[in-house]
Chains A and B, each alone.
Chain A
């Protein structure tokens, strides 16, 4: 990028934008806020290191995800992306519970009106729904504490 067409990062950092600036392809000058958030949360040098560690064909996605995380953290300084994950998990539990309730109503209907013909898919085996429910519950165990060790 030429010296008068600096990327958002180099503009923000008030430095010359070299031809091979690693940040330039992912932080265009048209969106200065995006880099501002990324710099505030991660720091320009950390972001540069992170992008350098990633193969070039994946850097665009990496930059997008880093930006997403930074914006989430600016909007929610306590929980950031983790808050979004928690809310999604809660949403899944809620929707799942609605599904089980609805399927329970279906089973009740079939029991109350056995003379009505239903397709094989509609005939509910409650134990099948319970095992599916259990499997999905196991996917999101909520009774363990967060561990810093992965």
Chain B
């Protein structure tokens, strides 16, 4: 960010905002809280290193996700956004059970009505993706995340989504 107004990072760090400042595009001066919170959780130099390792077109999304994680960690210093992950994993498990029950009911109905008919194929529920380790390996059991401070994070998930576009491509 050139001109007279340093970006939020350089303002907070009390340094000159150079023309090619890596933070400037993502931390405008009118939102000082945004940089303050990522600096508190991750540290400016770590953020700078992370951004430098990314292609320019991915840096905005990276900053947005870092801001989200930093906010989650400040609100819930124990579980951060991992509380939300645990909550969603529980939701997935419950819904998968409901789906299995519903599919079993359909099967029973079909068998009762047409004993010789072929049942509908069961829809596979496990998706494969790059995050298979972290998605399918639920958090260790000693996380009592069902009833704790992560309720705050759950509420945040109910109020907002992450980006205006589909992040996962």
Which residues of A does B touch, CB under 8 Å? 40-43, 45-46, 50, 53-54, 58, 60-62, 64-66, 68-69, 71-73, 75-92, 95-96, 98-99, 102-103, 105-106, 109-110, 113, 116, 118, 122, 138-150
Contacts and interface: CB of A to CB of B under 8 A. Distances in A.
B147 to A, nearest CB: 14
Contacts of B83: 65
B158 A140 contact: yes
A85 B113 contact: no
Given A83-B168, A85-B162, A148-B71, 9 more contacts: A40-B46, A42-B42, A62-B79, A65-B78, A68-B82, A82-B65, A84-B85, A91-B92, A146-B164
A92 B92 contact: yes
B88 A99 contact: no
B161 A141 contact: yes
A116 B92 contact: no
Classify the secondary structure of A's interface with B: helix
Contacts, number: 200
7 contacts: A42-B42, A61-B79, A65-B143, A66-B80, A140-B161, A146-B64, A150-B71
